[in-house]
């Protein structure tokens, strides 16, 4: 199978030499065209003659009249010993050789004729080119001239050739002389002489070389001519493509995707080839009536089609593609199911499947020791023609929510033979287990534990409870003894796992109040203020009530306008983790007194609140001036302070303070402080 040859033309100049002389004409038998061999000497007029024997000749000039290159061209008289009567003068500037008589009288025509015949042209360049014209003048008379010329044989045109596959090729060259062929660019002897050369059997591209010359003069530049051999496409002559007939009609007719045979026809060499398909081999050769729809071709049109496999060099190979129908099939009613879990909170019926998990089961339906492979498709036609194959088989997301059927194709990996096609894989998506939990829970210390529960859940679920990543239970509810973050996962009978639910358990205790945390601003009965410091009560959310377990309760531990006497603060944990209480006492004392012995307000003392202060008892009541100096110490159960110090000296008006020192049975001390004024009128 061949392709058209490409012709390459190389234009070279011939070197031609011409000579002219009038009244001294060339002999009709003279050689007036000669081939010149580079770097050699050649006599320009070896057949020169002068017809007029009586001519009187004093000088003869031979000039290069065209194409002269003074750096390389020269004329000289050879055989000088035969021409002792003639002197020569070479004029480089004009390219002229002048012959003159060395005697006082003219020479004979025979002597001049002999001398002209011995004039030689020399060129000192191995790559001589161009044309030369020579003129011969007698007595410097341009009318008496004779013509002669010489040339260098030159290749004027080469014609390469090419073919597809091994074989011989015809190569051609034209020249102004004989054409000699070589198989080396510089070495060896000619392997052929002539314009047309038939190569031997070639399997690879080979370059030959030609030179124009004459016998004994083959030193010219060798011109390459390439015989190009293109490789035929790699392919096998006959390939069988086997497809399944699964349309419910056992007629042996089905559709084929002819392109599926490409890898097998080309033996895997599928790159850089174009393949077209034809009903007849003749059409494949002429590229007529190509099959328009090779990816959906019915074998009712032909059981053998012809593939034209053509590479980038336009070399082609015709392969036979035989269309066979498989006699195997899946067992009737066979179906395989893969069950997946939805896996998200949306429950949209979409999840990822690993289709390869079912592959072994499908291949097990056919004879063993076959090199089978399984492919998956979303439609019957795609499976039949192997279009739109599902590529991501290990992470395929179903397109139809909750249930989808895929078509399975089992074929032989070695030859593409179909073993079975059908809707044999069902993908079922099970919903994510749903249930609820309370996101937070309270653990009362006094109770020791709390129960965590799931609700609105399927009775068939099983559970996994974890804390800090450690499994701690599998029941519907869980009793826990410690605070922290707990997670629970519901698992359905299909093994589908829910999104983890988190329950934060908070540890809470009943409040533990201390007398030291109660701040009392004592005064008159209408402005006593009680503040309970809640930072030391414990872990919990607390609310407060005064003197009544039933309340009302308030969120802040602040009570105003508390009367003097014994009171109780009730502290209740909001999450029902118990109620505690603490008793305290409020003292009442005057804000000022006037010790002027008029019988009215002459003494200062604590007037209310000391009757029931158990378990405390009073140890001391100290009076201080505004500078914080101790003035005196009194017994609060006596009359009171009269405004004098320990030396009975009357103290001046001003602000004073007191400290009441208390102690309980265990020796725990407590101080109560306040301020008042001493006035003198």
Q: Name the pairing type of β-strands 161-164 and 223-230.
A: parallel
pLDDT at residue 30 greater than cutoff 50: no
pLDDT tens column, 463-479: 999 999 999 999 999 99
If you average pLDDT over residues 175-204, what whole number do you get?
94
The class that CATH gives domain 592-678 is mainly beta
Mean pLDDT value of segment 114-138: 86
pLDDT above 70 for 341: yes
Q: What is the pLDDT of residue 523?
A: 58
Which stretches of 459-523 are assigned E, i.e. beta strand? 462-467, 470-473, 477-480, 484-491, 501-508, 518-521
Two tokens, residue 151: 């040339």
> In the prediction, which pLDDT does 32 show?
65
- The CATH number of the structural domain formed by 33-151 is 2.60.40
Structure tokens at 497: 């796992």
Mean pLDDT of 558-585: 87
Least confident of 56-65, 123-132, 430-439, 598-607: 123-132
Widest pairwise Cα distance in the chain: 195
394, HSE (Cβ side, Cα atoms, 13 Å): 0
pLDDT of residue 608: 80
Tokens of 70: 């003074």
Q: What is the mean pLDDT of residues 185-190?
A: 92
Architecture of domain 155-230: Sandwich (2.60)
CB 503 within 8 A of CB 441: yes
The neighbouring-strand residues paired with 205 are: none
**Does the pTM exceed 0.85?**
no
CB atoms within 10 A of CB 441: 18
Q: What is the mean pLDDT of residues 335-351?
A: 88
pLDDT, average across residues 512-520: 83
Band of pLDDT at residue 304, cut at 50, 70 and 90: very high
- Rounded distance between C-alpha atoms, residue 607 and residue 70, angstroms: 150
Which numeric CATH code is attached to 436-508?
2.60.40.10
pLDDT in tens, 381-420: 999 999 999 999 999 999 999 999 999 999 888 888 888 8
CATH 1.20.1070 fits 515-586, yes or no: no
Reduced DSSP (H G I as helix, E B as strand, rest coil) percent helix, strand, coil of the chain, to 5: 5, 45, 50
* Collapsed DSSP state (helix, strand, coil) of residue 261: helix
Measure the CA angle with vertex 210, ends 205 and 215; round to 5°: 150
**3-state SS string over 212-234?**
EEECCECCCCCEEEEEEEECCCC
DSSP 36-86: --TTSEEES-TT---S-TT--BSEEEEEEEES--TTTEEEEE--GGG-TTE
What pLDDT, on the 0 to 100 scale, is given for residue 413?
86
Nearest to 591 by CA among 681, 680, 656: 656
Segment among 314-323, 366-375, 549-558, 607-616 with least mean pLDDT:
607-616
Neighbours of 198 (CB within 10 A): 9
Higher pLDDT: 522 or 68? It is: 68
Share of the chain above pLDDT 70, in %: 92
Residues in the chain: 681
Give whichever of 56-60, 174-178, 630-634 has the largest mean pLDDT.
630-634
Residues 160-172 pLDDT 10s: 999 999 999 999 9
What is the pLDDT at residue 28? 26
Residue tagged 């031997």 (tokens): 200
């Amino acid at each position: 199978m061949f392709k058209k040859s490409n012709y390459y033309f190389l234009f070279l100049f011939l070197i031609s030499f011409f000579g002219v002389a009038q009244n001294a004409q060339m002999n009709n038998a003279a050689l007036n065209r000669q081939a010149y061999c580079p770097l050699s000497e050649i006599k320009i007029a070896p057949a020169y003659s002068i017809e007029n024997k009586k001519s009187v000749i004093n000088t003869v000039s031979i000039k290069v009249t065209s194409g002269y290159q003074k750096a390389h061209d020269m004329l000289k008289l050879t055989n000088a010993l035969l021409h002792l009567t003639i002197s020569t003068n070479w004029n480089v500037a004009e390219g002229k050789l002048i012959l003159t008589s060395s005697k006082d009288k003219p020479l004979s025509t025979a002597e001049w004729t002999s001398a002209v015949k011995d004039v030689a042209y020399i060129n000192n360049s191995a790559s001589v080119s161009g044309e030369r014209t020579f003129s011969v003048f007698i007595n410097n008379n341009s009318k008496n001239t004779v013509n002669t010329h010489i040339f260098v044989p030159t290749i004027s045109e080469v014609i390469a050739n090419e073919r597809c596959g091994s074989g011989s090729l015809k190569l051609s060259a034209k020249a102004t002389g004989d054409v000699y062929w070589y198989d080396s660019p510089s070495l060896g002897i000619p392997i052929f002489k002539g314009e047309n050369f038939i190569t031997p059997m070639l399997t690879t591209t080979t370059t030959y070389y030609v030179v124009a010359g004459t016998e004994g003069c083959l030193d010219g530049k060798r011109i390459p001519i390439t015989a190009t051999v293109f490789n035929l496409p790699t392919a096998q002559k006959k390939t069988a493509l086997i497809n399944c007939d699964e349309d419910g009609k056992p007629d042996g007719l089905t559709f084929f995707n002819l392109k599926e045979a490409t890898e097998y026809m080309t033996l895997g060499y599928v790159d850089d080839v174009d393949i077209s398909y034809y009903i007849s081999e003749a059409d494949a050769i002429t590229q007529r009536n190509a099959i328009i729809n090779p990816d959906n071709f019915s074998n009712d049109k032909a059981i053998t089609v012809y593939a034209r496999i053509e590479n980038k060099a336009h070399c082609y190979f015709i392969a036979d593609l035989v269309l066979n129908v498989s006699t195997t099939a899946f067992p009737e009613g066979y179906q395989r199911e893969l069950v997946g879990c939805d896996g998200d909170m949306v429950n949209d019926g979409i999840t990822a499947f690993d289709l390869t998990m079912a592959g072994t089961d499908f291949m097990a339906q056919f004879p063993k020791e076959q090199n089978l492979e399984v492919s998956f498709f979303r439609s019957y036609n795609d499976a039949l023609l192997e279009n739109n194959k599902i590529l991501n088989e290990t992470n395929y997301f179903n397109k139809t929510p909750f249930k989808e059927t895929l078509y399975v194709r089992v074929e032989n990996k070695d030859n593409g033979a179909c073993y079975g096609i059908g809707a044999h894989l069902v993908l079922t998506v099970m919903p994510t287990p749903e249930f609820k939990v309370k996101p937070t829970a309270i653990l009362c210390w006094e109770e020791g534990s709390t129960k965590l529960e799931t609700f609105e859940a399927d009775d068939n679920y099983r559970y996994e409870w974890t804390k800090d990543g450690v499994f701690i239970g599998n029941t519907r509810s869980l009793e826990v003894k410690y605070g922290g973050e707990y997670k629970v996962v519901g698992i359905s009978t299909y093994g589908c796992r829910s999104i983890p639910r988190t329950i934060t358990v908070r540890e809470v205790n009943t409040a533990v109040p201390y007398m030291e945390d109660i701040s009392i601003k004592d005064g008159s009965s209408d402005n006593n203020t009680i503040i309970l410091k809640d930072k030391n009560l414990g872990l919990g959310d607390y609310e407060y009530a005064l003197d009544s377990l039933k309340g009302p309760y308030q969120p802040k531990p602040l009570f105003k306008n508390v009367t003097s006497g014994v009171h109780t603060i009730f502290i209740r944990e909001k999450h029902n983790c118990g109620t505690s209480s603490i008793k305290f006492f409020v003292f009442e004392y005057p804000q000022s007194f006037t010790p002027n012995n008029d019988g009215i307000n002459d003494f200062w003392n604590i007037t209310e609140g000391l009757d029931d202060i158990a378990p405390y008892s009073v140890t001391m009541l100290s009076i201080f001036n505004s500078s914080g100096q101790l003035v005196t110490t009194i017994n609060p159960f006596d009359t009171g302070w009269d405004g004098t110090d320990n030396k009975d000296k009357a103290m001046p008006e001003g602000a004073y303070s007191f400290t009441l020192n208390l102690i309980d049975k265990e020796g725990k001390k407590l101080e109560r402080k306040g301020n008042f004024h001493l006035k003198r009128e």
